[in-house]
Amino acid sequence: MKILVFFGKPGAGKGTQADLLKAHYNLVHISTGELFRYNMKNQTDLGKLAQSYMDAGDLVPDQVTIDMLEAEVDNNPNAAGFIFDGFPRTFAQAEALDRFLAEKKLSVSATIALEADDDVLVERLLKRGETSGRSDDQDETKIRNRFAEYNDKTALLKSYYQSQGKFYTIDGIGSLEAISQRLKNLIDGL
């Protein structure tokens, strides 16, 4: 079973590439953001719990997120694996993911960082913001702040996964097909 974690700054193409690769490998793409929205919209117990923290202005505890991920994994018993997008973002979350997977006798196969120049990503996000309606994709200052947050928090996970021999980088510049082929070459070699 292949279990992949996609990293990259906003606009790096994680979701786009996950969508292209999931059918090719029979993987389930688990986007943390989509998972939260689904659970809250459908008023699941976990969605209500997450909403209660958010309504209070608090961060949703890691365990609530892990419980959502575990439910999603359990709901897809025939998958050949998973692509996690948006999780983990901290050392504590990475350790929690490892524990959760170990309980199922699984482990992360690879963490893959899609890398691209900040100016290219700003351009991508501003273009996406023209149609997405997302206010955080329409303001360069907000975009660069998101990059800084990524650098301060998520990028630090590089050493965590490097120590396990599971961290890889892929050039995120080029056509969708070229980037997808780079990812396939890496995944096929795992």
Q: Is the pLDDT of residue 19 over 80?
A: yes
pLDDT of residue 152: 83
pLDDT digits (tens, 9 = 90+) for 98-116: 999 999 999 999 999 999 9
What is the percent of the chain where pLDDT is above 70? 100
Among the listed residues 2, 142, 144, 146, the single catalytic one is 146
The enclosing H or E element of 123 equals helix 118-132
Known catalytic residue: 146?
yes
Q: Is the pLDDT of residue 149 over 90?
A: no
Among the listed residues 2, 128, 142, 158, the single catalytic one is 128
Tell me the CA distances in angstroms from 13 to 17, 59, 87, one per residue in order. 6, 25, 15
Known catalytic residue: 144?
no
**All domains in the chain, ordered by first residue:** 2-180 (3.40.50.300)
Asked if 9 contacts 121 with a C-beta cutoff of 8 angstroms, the reply is yes
Among the listed residues 9, 89, 124, 166, the single catalytic one is 89
- pLDDT category of residue 33 using cuts at 50, 70 and 90: confident
Tell me the CA distances in angstroms from 109 to 76, 91, 126, 169, one per residue in order. 18, 17, 33, 14
| pTM, two decimal places | 0.88
pLDDT of residue 36: 85
Q: Is the pLDDT of residue 14 over 80?
A: yes
- pLDDT category of residue 37 using cuts at 50, 70 and 90: confident
Among the listed residues 41, 48, 99, 134, the single catalytic one is 134
Known catalytic residue: 37?
no
- pLDDT category of residue 32 using cuts at 50, 70 and 90: confident
Q: Is the pLDDT of residue 59 over 80?
A: no
Q: What single DSSP character describes residue 58?
A: P
C-alpha–C-alpha distance, residues 44 and 122, integer Å: 35
More confident residue, 154 or 82: 82
What average pLDDT does range 122-146 have in this prediction?
A: 90
Among the listed residues 9, 14, 124, 166, the single catalytic one is 14
Separate counts of helices (H) and strands (E) for the chain = 9, 5
pLDDT of residue 125: 94
Q: Which residue has the tokens 């998958």?
A: 79
Asked if 33 contacts 138 with a C-beta cutoff of 8 angstroms, the reply is no
